[in-house]
Structure 1
Amino acid sequence: MFDLPSKRQIKMVRALVQLKNYRKRHGLFLVEGLRATEEALNSDHSVEFLLVSDDFLKRHREKIEKYENMRIYEVPREVYETLSDTEAPQGIMAVVRMKNFELRNIYEDNFLIVALDGIKDPGNIGTIIRTADAAGAGGILAGKGCVDIYNPKVVRATMGSIFHLPVIEGVDLPAVLHELSQKGAKIVVTHLGAEKSYFDVDLTGSVVLVFGSEAEGVSPEILEMPVELVKIPMPGRAESLNVAVASGIVLFEAVRQRSHPFPL
């Protein structure tokens, strides 16, 4: 039997689910589900405490008790459901402290970075983070117009990948892309009006892949920079692709090229 959380902790969990400003002010965010919680616990992020439902504890006590040095609180299932952001909650969540990453954390030789411009759908951003993690990208740059990276829906869609690679949000993308370009990076932007296909561009060196929102695309300020515009050929009748799908296609072309050198 674990202790009950205090009223302050219950209020904290509710605020972390609902309020971006609260998350930013306190430097905390919420992860929910067994897999995501274990990813948090096995990462170098600081986990403040776990909150579990009584029925989850009955089913998974051995998984919880191995974290004996962690603060763990137990609540009745009906209370847990009022706190959860999911439709069918597993019964476990963790309050995690954010990490502050800087550009130098993701800058290395032949880096592969994903930059996001104005993407507001939580599921898309979460999926892109997960895909970038799978592709071995060095980090994510989320521009000022993007949805909050620590929104519970984003965190859930990353499936734990938010703990695997640096994510820097609130970035002044034009300024940072200019800086990276000065360091020799190729800035590659997906654009429906591009003449060149994504598989005709050398993605083996230091590359930043830039993806904009489906509605507006990449901002004009970025398009005015010295960037390489590429398109994904679509012989079918669809006019465009979901941005998360598009990012996966281009990211894994970079993986292919880095595994098999680009022909001269």
Structure 2
Amino acid sequence: MIKQLSKKQQKLVKDLIKSKKARMKNRCFIVEGLKNVAESIKSNYEVRFVVISDDFFKSNIGFIKILSKQVCPNRLYQVRDNLFNELTDTVTPQGIMAVINFKDTNIEDVQKENFLMIALDRIQDPGNMGTIIRTADAAGADAIVIGQKCVDIYNPKVVRSAMGSLFHVPIIQTDDLIKTLIELKEKGGKVVTTHLKAKKPYYDVNYMACTIIVMGSEDEGVSKEIVRISDELVKIPMPGSAESLNVAIAHGIMVFEAVKQRIKPVPTACK
């Protein structure tokens, strides 16, 4: 028997959608849509509860049966369609959402030979953040390091634009990005940073050994401190008239250069 959602739970859902403060306080976030919910359930994230609209329940009986085997039945809740629409901020909701607990990841959890990591400094746009997470997942990155001044990765817009990849690639959130990058350098990592004034093209760098690709904010790029500790400063040649690239596009170009190099015979191991 699927239960009814309490007033307290309804308030929690609304607060999690609207407020980073509420997400931090309760250490959980909202996932919406069939694909994202399915990916969250298959992952090693903990599902607090799932909310289903009446219409979704009627139209997806097969999925509901599978869901009831994957999630404890007392964590499944059904609501009227109009109430579901009140809970969500999605324009055309699919009728299913889940409340997922935070998952903390440390460098030690993801360290491996020849690691490829992405580090993000002050990325502010939710759409860019979600696209970067999705692209890093497609490229097989071992982890993404998120600096403190970046947009909240559990922002509903980030979660939606990541399209399930949030649950595939480990994400390390750090209060001190410089300290974390130095720690990765000490473990044999090479910090490769995009910079408009760099002389070297991105494709002239060797990404075969342990590498951390650093992308900076949409307006200012990376901080001076990151430039100072970087092993390589690179640029993406732009023969056209545009002054710069969208950071998510630039990230895709960089990370798939690493993929191109790494699909060649056995890469060089870390020291």
Partner of 1:49: 49
Q: TM-score, normalised by structure 2?
A: 0.94
| Contact map agreement 2:193 2:230 (CA 8 A) in 1 | no
1:155 is the counterpart of 2:141? no
TM-score when scaled to structure 1? 0.96
Specify the code of the residue in structure 1 equivalent to 2:18: Q
* Bigger shift: residues 53-62 or 201-210: 53-62
| Offset at residue 3 of structure 1 (A) | 2.1
Q: 1:125-171, CA deviations, whole angstroms, 9 ceiling, x for partnerless residues?
A: 11101100110000111101101111111111111011111112244
Corresponding residue to 1:135 among 93, 115, 139: 139
Which residue identity lines up with residue 30 of structure 2 in the other structure? L
Deviation of residue 260 (structure 1)?
Answer: 2.0
Q: Give the corresponding residue for 2:22.
A: 22
RMSD: 1.5
8 Å Cα contact 1:188-1:227 kept in structure 2: yes
Contact residue 202 and residue 262 of structure 1 kept, 8 A: no
How far is 1:200 from its partner? 0.4
Equivalent of 2:219 in 197, 215, 234: 215
Separation in 2 of the partners of 1:230 and 1:200? Answer: 9
CA contact (8 A) 2:123 2:217 kept: yes
Greater than 6 Å deviation, 4+ residue runs: none
Instruction: Report the Cα offset of residue 262 of structure 1.
Output: 10
Residue correspondence of structure 1 range 7-156 to structure 2 within 5 A: 7-68=7-68, 69-70=72-73, 71-156=75-160
Percent sequence identity over aligned pairs = 51
**Which amino acid in the other structure matches residue 45 of structure 2?**
H
Whether 1:234 aligns to 2:235 is no
3-state SS of the aligned residue for 1:229? Answer: strand
Distance 1:170 1:101 in 2: 10
Match of 2:183 in 1: 179
Secondary structure class of the residue paired with 1:66? helix
- Contact persistence 1:31–1:94 (CA under 8 A): yes
| Code of the aligned partner of 2:97 | M
1:201-212 alignment runs, 5 A limit: 201-212=205-216
Matched to 1:86, the amino acid is T
Partners of 1:5 and 1:153 in 2: CA distance: 24
- Structure 1 residue 110: deviation in Å? 0.4
Q: 2:248 is paired with a residue of what secondary structure?
A: helix
Matched, 1:196 2:233: no
Unaligned runs of 5+ in 2: none
Q: Within 2, Cα distance between the matches of 1:217 and 1:48?
A: 37
Q: What letter matches 2:87 in structure 1?
A: L
CA contact (8 A) 2:120 2:146 kept: yes
Question: Residue 257 of structure 2 corresponds to which residue in structure 1?
Answer: 253
Is the contact between residue 192 and residue 230 of structure 2 (CA under 8 Å) also seen in structure 1? no
